[in-house]
Amino acid sequence: MRKNLTEIHALQKRICYSSDEAAFAALFRLFYQSLYHFAMQYVHKHEVAEEVVNDVFVKIWKQRATLLDIQNVESYLFIAVKNGSLNYIKQYSHYHVAIDDENTGKLISLHNPEQDMEWKELYFKLQQAVNNLPDQCRVVFRLVKEEGFRMKEVAGILGISPRTVETQLYRAIKRLDGILNEQYKPKANNRDKLVSIIIFIITSLVAGLQ
């Protein structure tokens, strides 16, 4: 059943301007069942589907001050749930089953903890730089690079043209490159990691255009 757009927009305003918990609960009830069944198509586990949907709404509440930037809430929610479901599935690619001498299977992480810490530190610095971006650049960057939306999807969510999304994203990348390049300029080893981050961000724009 198609949702009432006027009702949704009214709830958005109450959540955004007044941090209205009753409005947030109403928005949750309005979409929960359809989002839950949608997540189940990917994860096939009741508890996981619930967790994925709940995580999306937790993020909405934490970022409620920008909720009115989202022109198409329904599209945003379904795409966010899809991405959350795929991320859940993807996380198991970091593990493999190892058979020990007693022929017992164990789940082994393929991550390097030391390397993870280094990348987390750089990621934290990147987040600080993102927070200092102009408003539209920041919203576009977060939707594409942090939440996994494609550029066309972001255009629909924000009610702007795909070209505007592309322009804002490239502006964000250019600005982040300058900020992080200056911050890590004295450290050659960090500079190498920085280059890797920027290259990853820029090259992955191709996926966003699809």
Tokens 């379904």 locate to 78
pLDDT confidence of residue 210:
39
What's the CA gap between 89 and 105, in Å, rounded? 20
Q: Delineate the domains of the chain, giving CATH numbers in brackets.
A: 5-92 (1.10.1740.10), 111-209 (1.10.10.10)
pLDDT confidence of residue 92:
52
The separation between the first and the last C-alpha atoms of the chain, rounded to the nearest angstrom, is 29
pLDDT confidence of residue 183:
61
Strand, coil or helix: 170 = helix
- For 5-30, what is the HEC assignment? HHHHHHHHHHHHHHCCHHHHHHHHHH
pLDDT tens digits in sequence order for the chain, 210 residues long: 456 888 999 999 999 999 999 999 999 999 999 899 888 878 888 999 999 999 999 999 999 999 998 888 988 998 899 889 888 887 754 544 444 444 444 444 445 566 566 666 766 777 778 888 888 888 888 888 777 788 888 888 888 898 999 999 888 888 877 766 766 554 545 555 555 555 455 444 434 443
pLDDT confidence of residue 32:
94
Strand, coil or helix: 61 = helix
Tokens 């750089």 locate to 122
What's the CA gap between 51 and 144, in Å, rounded? 22
**Rg of the chain in Å (alpha carbons):** 20
